Structure 1
Amino acid sequence: MPRRTATMLASTLLLFALLCAGVFLKVPYSEMSPGPTVNTLGESRGEPVLQIAQRKTYPTSGHLNMTTVRVTGADYDMNLLEAVHGWLSGDNIVVPHENLYPNGKTDAESTQENAEEFSQSQESAKVAALKQLGIPVTARVVVSTVVKGSPSEGTLHAGDVIKAVDGSPVRAPEDVAKLVTKHKAGEPVEFTIVPAKDAEAAEKAGKEPEGSQKIGITTAKAEGDGHAIVGIKAGTDHTFPFPIDIKLADVGGPSAGLMFALGIVDKLTPQDLTGGKFVAGTGTIDDNGKVGPIGGIQMKTIGARAAGARYFLTPADNCASAAARVPDGLTLVKVDTIADAVQSLEKIGKGDTGALPRCAAK
């Protein structure tokens, strides 16, 4: 066999072997890519994303798009070729699997966590939007979760309103732990609650929950320092002065909070905030309107620009990362609170974009 032919054959076999190795060699990585965007002022699957009743709303135009990121599943085994392709791709990011699914988290666990975060983000978006508009919202402390096998299991339930502990009024979630830990493990503690079913009925009627009852629970010893616990997590629930529903399926996580809040503000404001412009964005939001950072910011800006966005509302803590790679034609607008975002939307709507606070790369 001629030397040249032998060399070509050997190279071909080596290449084939490397390709086979690349296909069968699994690597501990996952991939993130731009996901779909949804206009919070528009419709999804034939119905409005934001549905507000018993309150005057106003026409809106333009877009206030929330953005998403696609990720490979927890059970997906990426091979070496796919990892290399992802690293070389301009629109995807390959990250360690542990970053997306820490401590062996399963798809089911991730889906449940995302659903809970998405639900909380909707609640906070409503609260932040109404506070921005000066509309009062009533808050109350509730049982958020009950730990399985704890002293509270079967006695307290998620959604129960906590009015007092040992007769001391509860005004914030952290009050519950402070009052319980005044006891030694094994001592009884008395909760004054409104049962979840009564609280839910009152909320639907737009009233404050009534009909409290007292429940005694024997505290247990926490692992570690041994302080007294009852095995619940306290949270906050709200009574809204009129119904606000957010209808959006197949989306999880907390990062749409800011855009939901802005959509609500726009619908309840006579002024058309966007002025017909295409604005997208992302960011968590708390009850006080503080905007927090999210993951996958570069994937979201790519997805937003592909959908047609010209402006992207960017959490302040994500600005540097987002500015390191900005899609052509997209302006990154820095926001730290819902008030910042509303002011920037007003500037965008009026065409006064020169004064916008913009993200800058470090």
Structure 2
Amino acid sequence: MPRRTATMLASTLVLISLLCVGVILPVPYSEMSPGPTVNTLGEADGEPVLQISGHQTYPTTGHLNMTTVRVTGADYRMNLVEAVYGWLAHDNVVVPHDTLYPDGKTEEESSQENAEEFSQSQESAKVAALTELNIPVTSRVVVATVVKGSPAEGALHAGDVIRSVDGTPVKEPGDVAELVTRRKPGQKVEFTIVPAKEAAAAEKARKEPTVTRKIVITTAKAQDDDRAIVGIQAGTDHVFPFTIDIKLADIGGPSAGLMFALGIVDKLTPGSLTDGKFIAGTGTIDDKGKVGPIGGIEMKLVGARNAGARYFLTPAENCASAAADTPDGLTLIKVDTIDDATKSLEKLRKGETKGLPACAKG
């Protein structure tokens, strides 16, 4: 066999061997890619994303699209060839597996956490939207979780409204722990509560609950110090003056909060926030309307532009990353609060595009 032919054959066999190893060899990486976008003013699976009853609503036009990121599952093991392809692909990002699933978190655990964050983001979006419109929302401190095997197990339940601890009214979740720790481990502490069932029934009837109970619990010692504890996590629940339902399945995480809030504002006010334009965006939101950063901003920009968006509402803390690689034809608008977003949309309606707060490269 001629030397040249033998060399080419050997090289080909080596290349095939390397490709086979690359396909078989798992690497500790995961992949992120642009996910679907959903118009919060439109429908998903045949029904409106935002459903409001008990209050006047108005027709809307245009798009206020929330954006998502698609990620490989916790149990998926990427091979070397896929990782290299992902690194070379412009629209995908390959990241260490632990970035998406830290501490060995399973896909089921991650999905549960994302579902909880998504639910919380919906509540905060409702509060932020109504606050922006000066519509009062009642807040109350509730039992969020009860630790299994703790003194509170069987005595307090998730959803119980906490009126007071040892006779002192509670206004914020942090008040509960502060009042409990005034006791020493082994001492009794008294909770005045509205049981969850009574609270839910009163909320449904749009009435103030009248049934209260006093629950006495013997405190225990915390595992890491000498604090007195009862084994609950307090949280905030809201009572809305009318019904707002967000119908969207198979979406997780908190990053749609801003766009949900804007969709609610649009439906509750005359005229159109978008003036018929295609606007997308992202960002967490808290009860006070503060917009927070999210992950995967580059993927969300690509997904938004592919869907047809012209403008993208970008959390201020994501601006530098977003501005570094903005898809052609997409204009970034920096937002720090829901009020920033509504004012920018007003400028868009007036055609004042030069006055929009822009994202600068870091």
- The 10-residue stretch of structure 1 (144-153 or 174-183) with the greater mean CA deviation from structure 2: 144-153
Aligned partner of 2:216 in structure 1 is: 216
Aligned partner of 1:77 in structure 2 is: 77
Q: Aligned equivalents of 1:218 and 1:84: distance in 2? A: 58
Q: Aligned equivalents of 1:210 and 1:336: distance in 2? A: 40
Residue type of the partner of 1:224? D
Q: Aligned equivalents of 2:316 and 2:278: distance in 1? A: 20
CA shift at 1:204, angstroms? 1.3
CA shift at 1:231, angstroms? 1.1
Q: Alignment length, in residue pairs?
A: 362
Query: Are the aligned partners of 1:141 and 1:171 in contact in 2 as well (CA < 8 Å)?
Result: yes
Secondary structure of 1:244 counterpart: strand
Q: Aligned equivalents of 2:132 and 2:268: distance in 1? A: 11
CA shift at 1:247, angstroms? 0.5
Q: Aligned equivalents of 1:239 and 1:32: distance in 2? A: 37
Residue type of the partner of 1:149? G
CA shift at 1:51, angstroms? 0.6
Q: Aligned equivalents of 2:270 and 2:310: distance in 1? A: 24
Aligned partner of 2:119 in structure 1 is: 119
Q: Aligned equivalents of 2:207 and 2:281: distance in 1? A: 35
The normalised TM-score by structure 2 is: 0.99
- The 10-residue stretch of structure 1 (342-351 or 170-179) with the greater mean CA deviation from structure 2: 342-351
CA shift at 1:78, angstroms? 0.7
Residue type of the partner of 2:340? D
Aligned partner of 2:256 in structure 1 is: 256
Q: Aligned equivalents of 1:217 and 1:106: distance in 2? A: 35
Residue type of the partner of 1:99? T
Residue type of the partner of 1:3? R
Aligned partner of 1:151 in structure 2 is: 151
Q: Aligned equivalents of 1:262 and 1:210: distance in 2? A: 35
Q: Aligned equivalents of 1:262 and 1:125: distance in 2? A: 8
Query: Are the aligned partners of 1:152 and 1:232 in contact in 2 as well (CA < 8 Å)?
Result: yes
Aligned partner of 2:94 in structure 1 is: 94
CA shift at 1:229, angstroms? 1.1
Q: Aligned equivalents of 2:237 and 2:179: distance in 1? A: 20
CA RMSD of aligned residues (A): 0.8
Secondary structure of 1:31 counterpart: strand
Secondary structure of 1:111 counterpart: helix
Aligned partner of 2:333 in structure 1 is: 333
In the TM superposition, 1:219-258 aligns within 5 A as 219-258=219-258
Secondary structure of 1:69 counterpart: strand
Q: Aligned equivalents of 2:125 and 2:207: distance in 1? A: 21
CA shift at 1:135, angstroms? 0.4
CA shift at 1:314, angstroms? 0.4
Aligned partner of 2:288 in structure 1 is: 288
Aligned partner of 2:346 in structure 1 is: 346
CA shift at 1:350, angstroms? 2.3
Query: Are the aligned partners of 1:207 and 1:239 in contact in 2 as well (CA < 8 Å)?
Result: no
Aligned partner of 1:54 in structure 2 is: 54
Q: Aligned equivalents of 1:220 and 1:281: distance in 2? A: 46
Residue type of the partner of 2:242? F
Query: Are the aligned partners of 1:321 and 1:361 in contact in 2 as well (CA < 8 Å)?
Result: yes
Residue type of the partner of 1:143? V
CA shift at 1:203, angstroms? 1.3
CA shift at 1:209, angstroms? 2.6
Query: Are the aligned partners of 1:132 and 1:338 in contact in 2 as well (CA < 8 Å)?
Result: yes
Residue type of the partner of 1:219? T
Query: Are the aligned partners of 1:50 and 1:264 in contact in 2 as well (CA < 8 Å)?
Result: yes
In the TM superposition, 1:163-202 aligns within 5 A as 163-202=163-202
CA shift at 1:348, angstroms? 1.5
Q: Aligned equivalents of 1:209 and 1:71: distance in 2? A: 44
Q: Aligned equivalents of 2:210 and 2:82: distance in 1? A: 58
Unaligned runs of 5+ in 2: none
The normalised TM-score by structure 1 is: 0.99
Unaligned runs of 5+ in 1: none
CA shift at 1:226, angstroms? 2.6
